[in-house]
Amino acid sequence: MHRPKIFSIILLIILAALMTVTVSAQDGISVTCDSGASFDNGVEVTVIQMRAGFTYTATAIGIGDFDPILAVLDANGQGLCADNTSDAGSYTVNLPTTGVVPSSRASAQINFSQTSGSNLADVSLVVGSVGNTSGEFVLLLEGMAATTADGSGDPFSVQLTPEMANSGVPVTVYMISVTDALDPLVRLVDADGNPVNDDNGDQIYCDDAGDASLCWGQSSSMSSSYATYKGSQRLGGFGADAMLSLPLTGVQFDSGPRYFNYQMTSYQRSTFGDYVVAIHAGVGSSGSSNTKPPLNTQQATAVPTLPPKDTPNTTASSGISVTCDSGASFDNGVEISVISMRAGFTYTATAIGIGDFDPILAVLDANGQGLCADNTSDAGSYTVSLPTTGVVPSSRNSAQINFNQTSGNNMADVSLVVGSAGNTSGEFVLLLEGMAATSADGTGDPFGVRLTEGMVASGVPLTVYMISVTDDLDPLIARINSDLSYVTDSNGDQVYCDDAGNASLCWGQSSSMTGSYVTRRGSQRLGGFGADAMLSIPLDGVQLDPDPDLRFLNYVMSSFEQSTFGDYVLAFHIGIG
C-alpha cells in the first residue's frame, strides 16, 4: 500500500460553522484554528481511503489534565477544529492501557463526512493540547465497518513525532466490534501493505487481545473494557476484540518521517460488521530540531525496529514463605495483616493475578495456621478495573478463601498472604469483602502491609483502595504510626486520601474512582464513586529494616470526620519483582 497524497476534501461537517485551520510541522503537527485555539504538538492519524456517504464521529478524550484540541483536515490544512465540545462531555473509556478515563467537559468532538467527490479519499485527524502541554489522550473514531469490499482491510496511519517518543507512552490501537458477528484483527503493515515482522520473524498483529499466541507483544483481554458509543451508549469490549501496542523506544527521526501503518480487518477476513477504533497515545516535551514534511507527503517505507515478544517471568526476590497441605508453596509472599478483625462475620479474600501472575492465597492466624487456595472456581468470574491496574480480566488462576475469625476472642489479628506459583514476578490485586465502618470502630479499622525485598524490587507502588458498598459511606484511608497517629511526609503533609482524584484531599498520585469497579460476591459488579479513596505509596529507594517485624506500612480505614458508616471493599494493588 502506497499512501497517496491527500487531495482536496470538502468536509460536510455536522456542526454550526466551518472553521479554517492552518497546518505546519515542528516537533509535532501545528494547527491554528480561526477561533484562536492552536497547538504545535499534534499527533496525526490518517484514515486512508475513507469511504464517502457515511457520517463519522471523532472524539478526543484527555487523560488526567490533558486538554485536547481536535482537527479534521484535508490536504490543504483546511477543515474544522473542536475544543471543549458539549456532546463529548459524556464520553468515557476503560481500556487495558488507560484504565478508567472519566468523562470531561474538556473533551473534543467532530462529526463529519468525506465528501471529496470521490468514493474514497484520505482524511487526517489531528490531536494536540491547549498550551502544548504534555500528557496522554484517547482518540475514538466511530462509523467504521469491515465489509466484503475492503480487500485486505481498512488502512490507517499514525505519523510518529519526537514528542510522542519523549512521552514514553506506547502507541496502542484498539479495534472494538459493535456487533458480535465481527472478530476484529489489527495488523502492522509496511508502506506497500505487506505484514511487518519483528526481529524474531514473528508477525506484528493482534487477533484476540490477551491471547499471547494470537496477539503480539503486551496485551490484555478486552472482555471488561468499554468505550462510550453514539453519545450515551456504553460499548463493551469482547474477548475477540483486538489491541496492538507498539513502543517508541529507540525510534530515530533524523532520516525523515516515521509512521506506524495498520490494517483493520477480521480473522481470516471472514466476519463483518461495524467497529470503533480507539488510539491511546502520549505527547512529551519538545526537544528535537527535526522537521517533518507537510501532511501530503508520501508514507516513508522505514518501520522502526521493535522488541521481541514478551519473555517469561523470572524468579522473584524473597518474601514470606508458605507451604500448603496440598503441596503448593511459595517464598515470595506479601502479607497483609487485618488488625483486630471482628469475630462473628464471614469475610472473602480474593487474589487476582495481573497478566501471567498465578497467585496462591493463604489466610493465617497468629500461629501461622490456616487455609490455602489456588485456582478457585468461585474466583474465576472476578475482575477489577482500578486507576493503577486498568482492566484486569477474569481468570481461572484466581484464588479465593471464605473465612471467619474464630480465635475465640471478639477481636484477633488475621494475615492474608499472597505469593505465586513458581515464585514468579508480577502484580496482583487482593480484594477483601465483608468489612464495615461502624460507630464502634473508634479511629477506624487498622491494617498493616509487611514490605519485602520483592515488593521494593518490583518498582510497583503499593496502592490501597477503599470502595464503599453504600452511598452513605464516605471512605478515608490514612497511613498511621504504631500509636495510630497520622504519618506526615517531609513537607509536613498528612499521608491520607479522602476523595481520590482531588489533590487537596488526597496525598500523592490518585485518580477519581468514578468508573472503576470490582467484582463482589462472585457476580455483582461494585462500581466506584467520586467519594471513594485510594492511597498510593511509591517504594522506590525504600530501605528495609533488617528485622522483618519492623517493615510494616500501617493504615487505618475510616470515613470523613468518622461521621459516615457502611460496608466497604478493600483492594490492594501490589507488585513482586
Question: What is the Cα 213 distance to its own chain's centre?
Answer: 22
Question: Residue 55: what pLDDT?
Answer: 87
Coarse DSSP helix, strand, coil percentages of the chain, rounded to the nearest 5 percent: 5, 45, 45
Question: Residue 69: what pLDDT?
Answer: 94
pLDDT (tens digit per residue) in 321-347: 999 888 888 999 999 999 888 888 899
Three-class SS state of 491: coil
What residues form DSSP beta bridges with 403? 347
Question: Residue 2: what pLDDT?
Answer: 28
pLDDT (tens digit per residue) in 140-193: 999 998 887 777 788 999 999 988 988 889 999 999 999 888 999 999 998 888
Question: Residue 133: what pLDDT?
Answer: 92
φ, ψ for residue 381, nearest 5 deg: -95, -5
Strands annotated E in 462-549: 462-468, 475-480, 496-497, 517-520, 524-527, 533-537
Q: Which residue has the higher pLDDT, 482 or 274?
A: 274
Question: Residue 7: what pLDDT?
Answer: 24
What are the extents of the domains in the chain? 19-283, 320-576
Q: Is the pLDDT of residue 397 over 50?
A: yes
Q: If you average pLDDT over residues 81-109, what whole number do you get?
A: 91
Q: How many CB atoms lie within 10 A of CB 112?
A: 23
Q: Residue 199: which pLDDT band, with cuts at 50, 70 and 90?
A: confident
Question: Residue 366: what pLDDT?
Answer: 83
CB 31 within 8 A of CB 71: yes
What strands lie across the sheet with 99-101, from one edge to the other? 99-101, 93-95, 226-229, 233-236
Q: If you average pLDDT over residues 357-383, what whole number do you get?
A: 90
The mean pLDDT of the chain is 83
Question: Residue 33: what pLDDT?
Answer: 85
Give the separation between CA 115 and CA 13, rounded to whole angstroms.
10
Question: Residue 255: what pLDDT?
Answer: 66
Longest dimension (CA), the chain: 82
Nearest-Å Rg of the Cα atoms of the chain is: 25
Q: If you average pLDDT over residues 47-57, what whole number do you get?
A: 86
Closest CA to 73 of 130, 30, 135, 28: 30
For 79, the enclosing helix (H) or strand (E) is: strand 79-83
Q: How many CB atoms lie within 10 A of CB 272?
A: 17
Closest CA to 88 of 228, 225, 277, 274: 228
Distances (CA, A) of 238 to 384, 459, 473, 523: 16, 31, 33, 18
Q: Using the 8-state DSSP alphabet, how is residue 545 labeled?
A: P
Q: Is the pLDDT of residue 308 over 70?
A: no
Give the separation between CA 447 and CA 436, rounded to whole angstroms.
13
CA angle 90, 222, 70 (to 5 degrees): 40
Question: Residue 35: what pLDDT?
Answer: 80
Give the separation between CA 93 and CA 87, rounded to whole angstroms.
15
Q: Which residue has the higher pLDDT, 91 or 251?
A: 91
What single letter denotes the amino acid at residue 2? H
